[in-house]
Amino acid sequence: MASLISHAVAALSIGVAFYKPSLPKHAWILGAACSTLPDMDVIGFRFGVHYEDFWGHRGFTHSLLFAAVLATLAVLVAFRSTASGERRPLWFYLFLATASHGLLDAMTNGGLGVGFFSPFDTTRYFLPWRPILVSPIGLTRFFSSRGLEVLRSELQWIWLPAALLISFMFLRRRNRAADSSD
């Protein structure tokens, strides 16, 4: 898996594409939270759930269906008073933030793959290109020399592209604003 920090960075960079001045500030926090929630499945290890099980790591909680359900629940709970036309882009952002978790994990060089289509198909998938070093599970393992290697890998393959996306979106907005004022 990629680290929780990098999942949040990816979600925040996706959020820039949905930015409007009217965007509720808690949407950013919720997007970061949704991007990390799929890893709640590691709790199962303590209860005897095996990695390759339906509820195991990178199983159902990393699926597109889980992303859709989580985005729906988040919008219904956190944005009840928001107009329905404004909720659609929020739902799409939260869906992409959650789904990005599985995508990044499928780009790592370890694990058993990601159950993108669970529960309909429990096959675990990797992407053909897997440049991200898999992050160790657990805080003590993460704060080690291996964790530093992972962070270096994530800086290159997640943080840098995220920064480029954010920069591109801000430049695009600035140019559009300049064009509309002419």
Give the tens place of pLDDT for each residue, 140-177.
666 677 888 989 999 999 999 999 999 999 999 888 88
Give the model's confidence band at 1: pLDDT under 50 very low, under 70 low, under 90 confident, else very high.
low
Cα diameter, the chain: 64
* SS3 state at 125: strand
pLDDT at 12: 96
Backbone angles phi and psi of 132, in degrees to 5:
-85, 130
Count CA within 13 A, CB hemisphere, residue 11: 31
DSSP H helical ranges for 42-159: 64-78, 84-105, 139-142, 145-154
> For 120-127, what is the mean pLDDT?
97
Give strand pairing partners of 58. Answer: none
The one-character DSSP state at 143 is S
Higher-confidence residue of 97 and 141: namely 97
Residue 11 and residue 35 in contact, taking contact as beta carbons nearer than 8 Å: yes
Residues with Cβ < 8 Å from 170, sequence gap 6 or more?
16
> For 124-144, what is the mean pLDDT?
84
pLDDT tens, residue by residue, 34-53: 999 999 999 999 999 999 99
